[in-house]
Amino acid sequence: MKAFLALCGLAVGLWLGLFPSVGEGVFAAIVGLLFLWLSFRKSCLSLYLGFLVIGVAFALLGRIPIQGETFTGVVVRSKENYFLLQVGLSRVYVAKKGNPYELFDIVSVNGKVGDIKVNTYESQFDFKEYLRKLGALGMVEQPLCKAEFLFPIRIRGAEQAFLGKLEKNASSLLAASLFNLKDYDAPAIEYASGLSLLFLFSASGFVLGSLLRVIDRLFLKGAKRKNAYLILFLIGLCFTPLSPYKAGVWRVVSLYGLRFFFEMKKKEPSTLFLHSLSGIIVLILDFRFAYDQGFLIGFGLCFLFDFSLPVFQRIRKNLLPIARLVFLRVFLLPVSLSSGQGFALFSLPFSLLLTPFTFLFSFLGLIGFLGIPMEALLNPYGDFLYETLALMSRINPILPLPALSYLGVGLFLLCLLLFLIGKEIGVKRIYRGALVSFLSIYSISLVPIVPFFTQEVTFINVGQGDAALIRDGLHAVLIDTGGRKDVDLARQSLIPLLRRKRIYRLDAVIASHHDFDHIGAKDSLLQNFDVGRFIDDPSDFPLTIGGLTFQNHNVYSWGEENEDSLVLSFSLLGETFLFTGDAGVAVEKRIIEDNPGLRCTILKVGHHGSKTSTSSEFLQTLKPREAIVSVGAKNTYGHPDPGVMGRLKNAGIRIRRTDEEGSICYMKPKLSDFGF
């Protein structure tokens, strides 16, 4: 128990020292207080607090800014177009196209460290947050770099050569399962992700541990445990160059190393002690693993198994692997819901069916990577897995469940723990109560209580495009949908956002005009979400939906797509909003000539801040207090135009940008429901 509390103190300290978001901070504080109470009960208070202080100290030391514009460090993460350089305990993100550097190279960099600016989209993977948890303090764009030392083991070239011999399905699946390179545009990976089965095709501790157990049972059953542990440790160690950034891989390798060590000492420590010591070793290798989802899930699952060992001991031995996989899928429920795309109803039985095939596929892939020709077997095997995933996708219903909040995740884990405790001591009231409690709380959370009593306008971060949600109570309208060729914004951004906000129906989708960056996600949205009407005709205005009334001010015919954009105004939240689409200066001039009394308090800046829109005369007439620019980070169009930004600043208008803030939400109580 002492080793467990030491690990908990170290992990909680690292989280508290990261200066996380409010939700993460509250979650870490609650967990920290829980373990503080446990350490007091176990007379380990000084041990727990000591490791907590160590964790906070390391986290703070890792936040010391890098000084100067020339510095030398060690590459600790490397991808095709960037690498992470560690200078002391601090790290910097270096953006470099065609990055030639790999893990453990020593590189000197000349360049200015600035703020991290990367493209992110609503409800999708937040690369900036990912870099923050990896310890990146800033960003250097296309600097001058010089290799001071190149590490002799070069994996990337071997990866590319191996994958280049394979056909598309086998290549994409093995890139994920061996090298943790996930191409989400590849059909096989897209199917696996939609089925919540991507963990089966990940270079993870779960996959590596399962492979080593299979090797142990098939080939090392009669060997002495000392020799078996050493062989498995060495095999696991061979995996680490393929996935050096995966905490789960290091967890499995360190566990077999510890088992070999204690077998040599003729000692039999508890699995709780082994898992705890393994966690400390992993954090010594890289203390930022504490922020890694794989670390938290992997060790969290290990400790849940440890504390619920009596429950699993009552399960028949031949059913134990299935029971563990079922428990894993239940434990991963918050992760399965985290995408916001819903819950694959049959993901559990499908994972039971696929697991033996995916493990064998990964094992054969590893043999092929080590030099034994396997293409003739791997290519049809990859096609078989692809066809199986495609079939499963066609017959798998998706429950439209939103992601769990930090509070929801905490309640889920608490109820899971109570369920296991109740099962262990045989008190049905406890485990049934835990199950009913979670289901009841989550079911209540699905009810749109907050939407019923509030109004909002949210400018959705869809990158270089436009999309805005307007909601008055349970009546909701979307103006534009955004659109990208490489991303299904409807399924990956808009629908997860709507579900998170407990919006289950849109009364209407309005297209300002038909440019792809404004309405490209329409078809997918209409196919995958309940939408009452699609509106793109000026003759439909004025339009009243619930308590909302939309007025179109561009009633002229220009014969050009941008100039024919709807220019919509409406009042909500005690504000007057004006959306101008991509309408240009000529349209603005005509509108204010015919409507000299037109005013707005919040202006959605035209054409993403292009110089073709937002004239001084337009601003002088409207007199907005705030201006919203919907724009993609580092876009190729040069939006927003410096001249437009200058005009807004000179007019004293507050500027808000989706590329800097993400989605921008205005929300207030619906005061009319309270008699105001």
- We report the CATH number of the domain holding residue 557 as 3.60.15.10
In whole angstroms, give the CA distance from residue 284 to residue 505: 49
Are residues 362 and 482 located together in one domain of the fold? no
**436: CB partners within 8 A, 6+ apart:** none
Are residues 427 and 510 located together in one domain of the fold? no
Looking from the CA of 646 toward its CB, the CA atoms found within 13 Å total: 4
Q: Considering only CA atoms, which of 175, 107, 92, 186 is closest in space to residue 140? A: 92
**224: CB partners within 8 A, 6+ apart:** none
Are residues 172 and 294 located together in one domain of the fold? yes
In whole angstroms, give the CA distance from residue 87 to residue 65: 10
CA torsion sign for 301, 306, 310, 314 is: positive
Are residues 392 and 418 located together in one domain of the fold? no
Amino acid at 593: E
Task: Locate 102 and state its tokens.
Answer: 């790999």
In whole angstroms, give the CA distance from residue 219 to residue 62: 44
Looking from the CA of 596 toward its CB, the CA atoms found within 13 Å total: 1
Q: Which helix (H) or strand (E) segment is 433 a member of?
A: helix 428-445
Are residues 127 and 194 located together in one domain of the fold? no
150-170 pLDDT, tens per residue?
Answer: 999 888 888 889 999 999 999
Task: Locate 395 and state its tokens.
Answer: 């017959």
Q: What is the DSSP letter of 641?
A: P
Number of domains in the chain: 5
**What mean pLDDT comes out for the span 97-118?**
89
Whether the bond into 542 is cis, omega within 30 of 0: yes
Kindly report the average pLDDT of the chain as a whole number.
87
Residue 673 clears pLDDT 60, i.e. is over it: no
As beta bridge partners, residue 447 has none
Are residues 361 and 222 located together in one domain of the fold? yes
Are residues 458 and 340 located together in one domain of the fold? no
Residue 671 clears pLDDT 70, i.e. is over it: no
Domain boundary among 367, 382, 399: 399
The whole-number pLDDT of residue 424 equals 63
The whole-number pLDDT of residue 20 equals 60
The whole-number pLDDT of residue 158 equals 87
The whole-number pLDDT of residue 426 equals 65
Task: Locate 232 and state its tokens.
Answer: 């498995």
Are residues 383 and 412 located together in one domain of the fold? no
Q: State the pLDDT confidence band at 674, using cuts at 50, 70 and 90.
A: very low
The pLDDT > 70 percentage for the chain reads 96
Are residues 601 and 545 located together in one domain of the fold? yes
Q: Which domain holds residue 532?
A: 451-674
Helices (H), 491-599: 495-500, 516-519, 522-528, 585-594
Domain boundary among 21, 43, 61: 61
Are residues 484 and 580 located together in one domain of the fold? yes
Are residues 361 and 425 located together in one domain of the fold? no
Lowest-confidence pick of 253-257, 300-304, 499-503, 656-660: 300-304
The whole-number pLDDT of residue 23 equals 62
573-621 pLDDT, tens per residue?
Answer: 999 999 999 999 999 999 999 999 999 999 999 999 999 999 999 999 9
Lowest-confidence pick of 251-260, 275-284, 320-329, 373-382: 320-329
The whole-number pLDDT of residue 522 equals 96
Task: Locate 511 and state its tokens.
Answer: 């297209």
Q: Which helix (H) or strand (E) segment is 419 a member of?
A: helix 406-425
| Ordered strands of the 144-149 beta sheet | 136-141, 90-95, 82-87, 70-79, 106-110, 144-149
The whole-number pLDDT of residue 24 equals 66
In whole angstroms, give the CA distance from residue 380 to residue 574: 62
The whole-number pLDDT of residue 676 equals 40
Q: Are 549 and 591 in contact, with CB atoms under 8 Å apart?
A: no
195-234 pLDDT, tens per residue?
Answer: 888 888 887 787 788 778 888 888 888 888 889 999 999 9
Lowest-confidence pick of 10-19, 20-29, 58-67, 536-545: 20-29
The whole-number pLDDT of residue 18 equals 79
370-427 pLDDT, tens per residue?
Answer: 888 899 999 999 999 999 999 998 888 888 788 777 677 777 877 777 777 676 666 6
Residue 318 clears pLDDT 90, i.e. is over it: no
Domain boundary among 367, 399, 431: 399
- Neighbour-count burial of 114, counting CB atoms closer than 10 A to its CB (0-12 exposed, 13-18 middle, 19+ buried): exposed
The whole-number pLDDT of residue 412 equals 80
Task: Locate 198 and state its tokens.
Answer: 């991507």
**624: CB partners within 8 A, 6+ apart:** 578, 600, 601, 602, 603, 653
507-556 pLDDT, tens per residue?
Answer: 999 999 999 999 999 999 999 899 999 999 999 999 999 889 999 999 99
- We report the CATH number of the domain holding residue 102 as 2.40.50
CA torsion sign for 646, 648, 654, 657 is: negative
Q: State the pLDDT confidence band at 461, using cuts at 50, 70 and 90.
A: very high
Are residues 442 and 298 located together in one domain of the fold? no
**What mean pLDDT comes out for the span 558-585?**
94
CA torsion sign for 126, 131, 137, 140 is: negative
Residue 430 clears pLDDT 80, i.e. is over it: no
The whole-number pLDDT of residue 107 equals 95
| DSSP structure string for 478-495 | EEEE---SSS-HIIIIIH
